Structure 1
Amino acid sequence: MRFVLPLLLVAFATVAGAGPYDGRYRPDHPSGDSWDCKTIGKDGGAVLLTSSIFFALGSRCTLRDPVAVSGLDATLYDAVCRGTGDTFQRRIMIMRTANGIAVVQKGAVISLLRRCE
């Protein structure tokens, strides 16, 4: 019995820590077909999203303070990012789409990403 409780706690932490958009993604357009879904953060490699990290080419963002967007299957985050030696903050909204997610960032830049299979 003393081993069961720690195993249950580990299993619960794993499930509780999973984010709604966790996965590997590539661009949702024909040029995305040539992207490598196994390599993360390199040119032509996948974008990795976990409950608290957004890792893309040239940048890695820690996602904080998630807020559900009313009426949409979307979440708004405060992000602290590092890229090319600089640290910066921004708001990022991630929204579920038919094929994956849409990422909306500073300046209304929208990236459509398809889930890697």
Structure 2
Amino acid sequence: MRFALLLLLLSSMTSEAGAGPYDGRYRPDHPSGDSWDCKNIGKEKGAVLLTSNIFFALGSRCTLRDPVGVSGMDATLYDAICRADGEPWQRRIMIMRTDTGIAVVQKGARISLLRKCG
């Protein structure tokens, strides 16, 4: 459930034009993610897409704004402005590069690991 909420958060983000540092298609980085489809975006068990600081997931879109690099880490802190079935909402999140993709850290120390689609 927390992972689905995170995907919704991430998928609601938008930003300025140009390539973002974490651009790509992702799926959960755990065994259940092996059955996810990396070709389809925004569908049940479809890939999560991060492009130009816009994150798309099932039923949501997030805009990542005001990026701040995290000293000593390959990570960026963002203000995420999201929309998913209703009013927009906002949250601070950090995206960090991992060996297999990215980790997304949000309020409450919730961490979601996403593997880059190959």
Q: Give, as a single letter, the amino acid of the residue that structure 2 aligns with 1:84.
A: D
Query: Which letter does structure 2 place at the counterpart of 1:65?
Result: D
Give the partner amino acid of 1:79.
A
Residue type of the alignment partner of 2:77:
L
1:109 to 2:110 alignment? yes
How far off is 1:59 after superposition? 1.8
Preserved contact between residue 60 and residue 85 of structure 2 (Cα < 8 Å): yes
Per the TM alignment, residue 106 of structure 1 is displaced from its structure 2 partner at its CA by: 2.3
Secondary structure of the residue that 1:31 maps to in structure 2? helix
Q: 2:55, 2:106 → 1: CA distance?
A: 12
| 2:69 paired residue number | 68
Tell me: higher relative CO, structure 1 or 2? Use CA pairs within 8 A at least 6 residues apart.
2
Q: In structure 2, what is the Cα distance between the partners aligned to 1:38 and 1:66?
A: 28
Q: TM-score, normalised by structure 2?
A: 0.82
Q: Which runs of 5+ in 2 are unaligned?
A: 1-16
Corresponding letter in the other structure for 2:25: R
TM-score using structure 1 length = 0.82
Q: Which has the larger radius of gyration?
A: 1
Greater helix content: 1
Partners of 1:59 and 1:108 in 2: how far apart?
21
Q: How does 1:38-117 map to 2 (within 5 A)?
A: 38-117=39-118
Gaps of 5+ in 1: 1-15
Q: Which consecutive aligned stretches of 4+ in structure 1 deviate over 6 angstroms post-superposition? A: none
CA deviations on 1:61-114 (whole Å, 9 max, x unpaired) are 011111000010000011110012121000110000000000111222111000
One-letter amino acid of the structure 1 residue matched with residue 115 of structure 2: R
Q: Structure 1 107/59 Cα, relative in aligned 2: closer, same or farther at 3 Å?
A: farther
Amino acid at match of 1:69: V
The letter for the 2-side match of 1:66 is P
The one-letter code sitting in structure 1 at the alignment partner of 2:92 is R
* Structure-2 separation of matches of 1:84 and 1:108: 25
Q: How many residue pairs are counted as aligned between the two chains?
A: 102
